[in-house]
Structure 1
Amino acid sequence: MENQQSDLAHADQQNERLTGRAMLSGAAGRCPSCDKGRIFSSYLKVNDHCPNCGEALHHQRADDGPAYLTILIVSHLAAPLLLWVFVAYRPSTPTLLIGFCAGTVIASLFLLPRIKGAMIALQWARRMHGFGFEAEPESA
């Protein structure tokens, strides 16, 4: 068993995964391994395996991370923009509320799958949560 694990570790060192390239592929919604298959089967539902190369994607543990990052990014962009628009143009309160509510929802819906794809690709590139093992252990 120990010899098998050392063989896997040696194979992992030879088969380097480029984190930046993988994250760009993931952000585009493509498989981090082959850069052709789709990660998502629907808006945020991750495929168990890549439809093109068969890479296992069910190991991913993105959970709430993409949502937190989306909120962080959108709020850090919207807050200064809101202040600038208010000071520069003095729009009415309903105009400001409708405009910024719609803008933050659209920005969040746009960024969320891209951030989730990049996070899944980061896990794949860093061999986290089982992405580094070719064969899964059989349950007894």
Structure 2
Amino acid sequence: MTTQTHAEPERELKPAVLRGLKSRCPHCGEGKLFSRYLKVRDCCSACGEELYHHRADDGPAYLTILIVAHVMGFVMHASFGYLKDDPLTLALLLCAMATVLSLLMLPRMKGLLVGIQWAKRMHGFGRKPA
């Protein structure tokens, strides 16, 4: 008696992550991943891949905070000598930079997590449509 297993082909992680970082569909890389700032589309407009399975939750925010905090630490250390006499300017500059950097990184971090989940077939990404 033989048992057949239908192993699905493995999805490559690196291309999926890079496509997610570019805010593109992790499957084809053509369709846009987001319909709004952080709203993931239900399905890709180019290939039809279902994307509503993602469960990014707070992960993108944690990753964004981790990266922005480290970058801002280096910026603060480097700029402190130049702006030592004017702490208000230093504070305003650092706050503005942290805000802009966070807003730019947040969708990319969400795309990264959606790409990982798609490649690893997590949260329903591996199911066959009925």
| Superposed pair shares fold, TM > 0.5 | yes
Counterpart for residue 100 of structure 2: 106
Q: Is residue 2:108 matched to residue 1:133? A: no
CA distance in 2: counterparts of 1:30 and 1:43, whole angstroms: 13
Give, in angstroms, the shift of residue 135 of structure 1.
2.1
Q: Is residue 2:44 matched to residue 1:50? A: yes
Counterpart for residue 71 of structure 2: 77
Give, in angstroms, the shift of residue 89 of structure 1.
4.3
Q: 8 Å contact 2:54–2:123 — kept in the other structure?
A: yes
| Superposition misfits of 4+ residues, deviation over 6 angstroms | none
In the alignment of these two chains, the number of paired residues is 128
Give, in angstroms, the shift of residue 88 of structure 1.
4.3
Unaligned runs of 5+ in 2: none
Unaligned runs of 5+ in 1: none
Change (3 A) 1:70 1:97: same
Length-normalised TM-score, structure 1: 0.86
- Report SS of the residue matched to 2:124: coil
* Code of the aligned partner of 1:54: G
Length-normalised TM-score, structure 2: 0.92
CA distance in 2: counterparts of 1:24 and 1:54, whole angstroms: 19
Q: CA RMSD in A?
A: 1.6
- Report SS of the residue matched to 2:81: helix
